């Protein structure tokens, strides 16, 4: 029988899906919800505690007290300003490690956190270990297939997303006809798609490309799309979405594909 | 006596400043204003013609007919979609060259255009050849001086802007406390600063870093800031602005410095 799972719940729908999946399988969970980050719906009706991001010691102690042996980090967490972080002693110790890590980015923080959890003998698992069929497969999932212009836009998007990812800036890029319309930093993919609605050139579509950052800890914050992403991409007037096969998550794949087909977009799992 | 100057007027205030400067010096000008790009105020009261971007042959013929021997490309021009470009025969020939150029970005277009103008014996001059004292000097121009956190933010901003520039994506980045808040693509610096207002973390400020793209034709679209940039950076709650000394333009430097001092921001010309 599977042991109790501690869920460190970042933003977006991913943590909630993990909760539902565990409940359906009869697995016990305990949710650490982060103030200003987690969706309150994630922990409704399940054992949980709200925690400020900086309370790393308290988080670890609570996971131990709850007898969680496995832990998952799910959903994006935006790094707050230092002045707002209010770190406890354990977080201060980690900040030293994080500052030493190159780049000082979100990835460094997550990697240090994963290490720290492992040093306490937690088993840190990926969201894809818990959700069946969530990893993006290779190939075109939709009825629509990317055309020649789309292929070139995807290639440019991959180049730009790689460069951004290497610098720990963001995961997503929108390209149309060889022009980079927008690039994601901390505003998130929905906000990026929102502004691209006004920046789009007349004529043929464009693509949202979303890739794992190069240095990214695989068990934390893999690029994720869902049916909402498809709807927002359609509102932005794009032709489709490309994610990296094997390195990104598609939530509710059947719904994603149905929405893409209804709205006439392509969804492609690419080898990048 | 200086010869007649043809001004290819992109967006923003730079082309207007060049017009004013020439008029003040008694130099004749002829403005090519681009539809949907140029500020109509640029060519008010001076000889000009409105031209669609794709009419390269017509533009060159008009510059010849007006006896312009010198030409300046001033202000940003956003590449329209192919379907809207409606290129004339000469532009179609250039599109072939541009497509061969790596990246297919705006820089490639501008470089090909400069080459083309030179092949017709126009002398292509930079905005900085025409405006005295407009190139950003090295050093701190404002009363406020960047602190330790600002220095680190500037360094990170330079790294990210370099990577973006190498891919011909954009010139500007906003960084706060080691977090990249936003990255410019085609939306422009004002829109970038606008959205960073909501993305800023609590506490210490942040910086706008604006750099020349690595491959950028020096005589076209150098990074430019003006007093409005300072005001928008202040509205976004930033501590200051850093531009590359010798490689970027500061319009109305006295006003920029006065606004920075009034609003408590730093303005730094850096060696990047």
Return the minimum-mean-pLDDT range out of A83-97, A178-192, B248-262.
A83-97
- The pLDDT value recorded for residue B152 is 94
- Of B130, B160, B179, which marks where a domain is finished? B130
Question: Is A195–B195 a contact, with Cβ atoms under 8 angstroms apart?
Answer: yes
Judge if B149 and B48 occupy the same domain: no
Question: Is B83–A202 a contact, with Cβ atoms under 8 angstroms apart?
Answer: yes
Query: What is the pLDDT averaged over residues B252-266?
Result: 97
Interatomic CA distance for residues A272 and A239, integer angstroms: 19
Identify the CATH number of the domain in which residue B197 sits: 3.40.140.80
Question: Is B83–A195 a contact, with Cβ atoms under 8 angstroms apart?
Answer: no
- The pLDDT value recorded for residue A108 is 67
Judge if A193 and A264 occupy the same domain: yes
Q: In the predicted model, is pLDDT for residue A4 greater than 50?
A: yes
Question: Is B181–A183 a contact, with Cβ atoms under 8 angstroms apart?
Answer: no
Judge if A40 and A111 occupy the same domain: yes
Judge if B79 and B152 occupy the same domain: no
Question: Is A186–B182 a contact, with Cβ atoms under 8 angstroms apart?
Answer: yes
From the CA of A97, how many Å to the nearest CA of chain B? Answer: 15
Contacts of A82 in chain B (CB under 8 A): 177, 203-204
Judge if B164 and B105 occupy the same domain: no
Judge if A100 and A10 occupy the same domain: yes
Question: Is A183–B180 a contact, with Cβ atoms under 8 angstroms apart?
Answer: no
- The pLDDT value recorded for residue B65 is 96
Chain A residue set in contact with B, beta carbons under 8 Å: 79-84, 104-106, 156, 159-160, 163-164, 166-170, 174, 176-187, 191, 195, 199, 201-204
pLDDT tens across B15-65, in order? 999 999 999 999 999 999 988 889 999 999 999 999 988 888 999 999 999
- Of A102, A130, A158, which marks where a domain is finished? A130
pLDDT tens across A233-268, in order? 999 999 999 999 999 999 999 999 999 999 999 999
Judge if B172 and B256 occupy the same domain: yes
- The pLDDT value recorded for residue B102 is 47
Judge if A53 and A154 occupy the same domain: no
HEC string of A153-207 equals HHHHHHHHHHHHHHCCCCCEEEEECCEEEEECCCCCHHHHHHHHHHHCCCCCCCE
**What residues have CB less than 8 Å from B16, skipping those under 6 apart?**
B39, B41, B42
Question: Is B167–A160 a contact, with Cβ atoms under 8 angstroms apart?
Answer: yes
Contacts of B102 in chain A (CB under 8 A): none
Q: In the predicted model, is pLDDT for residue A1 greater than 70?
A: no
| Domain housing B18 | 5-130
Judge if A185 and A219 occupy the same domain: yes
- Of A130, A151, A172, which marks where a domain is finished? A130
Q: Which tokens go with A137?
A: 């497969």
Judge if B147 and B69 occupy the same domain: no
The interface predicted TM-score of the complex, written ipTM, equals 0.83
Helix (H) or strand (E) holding B33: strand B29-34
Q: Into how many domains does chain A fold?
A: 2
Judge if B156 and B252 occupy the same domain: yes
Contacts of B181 in chain A (CB under 8 A): 185-187
Judge if A97 and A160 occupy the same domain: no
Q: In the predicted model, is pLDDT for residue A218 greater than 80?
A: no
**pLDDT class of B192 with cuts at 50, 70, 90:** very high
- For B250, phi then psi, to 5°, come to -115, 110
């Amino acid at each position: 029988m599977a042991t109790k799972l501690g869920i460190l719940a970042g933003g977006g729908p991913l943590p909630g899906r993990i909760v539902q999946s565990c409940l359906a399988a009869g697995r016990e969970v305990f949710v650490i919800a982060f103030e200003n980050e987690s969706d309150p719906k994630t922990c409704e009706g399940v054992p949980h505690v709200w925690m400020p991001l900086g309370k790393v010691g308290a988080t670890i102690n609570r996971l131990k007290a709850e007898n969680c042996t496995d832990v998952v980090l799910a959903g994006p967490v935006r790094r707050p300003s230092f002045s707002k972080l209010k770190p406890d002693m354990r977080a201060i110790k980690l900040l030293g490690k994080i500052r030493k890590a190159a780049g000082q980015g979100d990835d460094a923080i997550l990697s240090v956190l994963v290490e720290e959890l492992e040093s306490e003998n937690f088993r840190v698992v990926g969201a894809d270990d818990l959700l069946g069929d969530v990893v993006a497969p290779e190939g075109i999932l939709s009825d629509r297939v990317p055309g020649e212009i789309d292929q070139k836009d995807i290639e440019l998007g991959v180049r730009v997303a790689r460069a951004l990812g290497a610098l720990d800036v963001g995961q997503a890029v929108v390209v149309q006809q060889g022009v980079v319309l927008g690039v994601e930093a901390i505003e998130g993919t929905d906000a990026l798609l929102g502004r691209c609605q006004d920046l789009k050139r007349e004529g043929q579509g464009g693509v949202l490309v979303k890739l794992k950052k190069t240095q990214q800890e695989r068990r934390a914050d893999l690029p994720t799309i869902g049916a909402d992403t498809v709807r927002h991409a359609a509102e932005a007037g794009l032709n489709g979405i490309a994610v990296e096969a094997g390195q990104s998550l598609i939530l509710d794949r059947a719904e994603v594909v149905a929405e893409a087909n209804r709205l006439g977009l392509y969804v492609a799992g690419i080898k990048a």
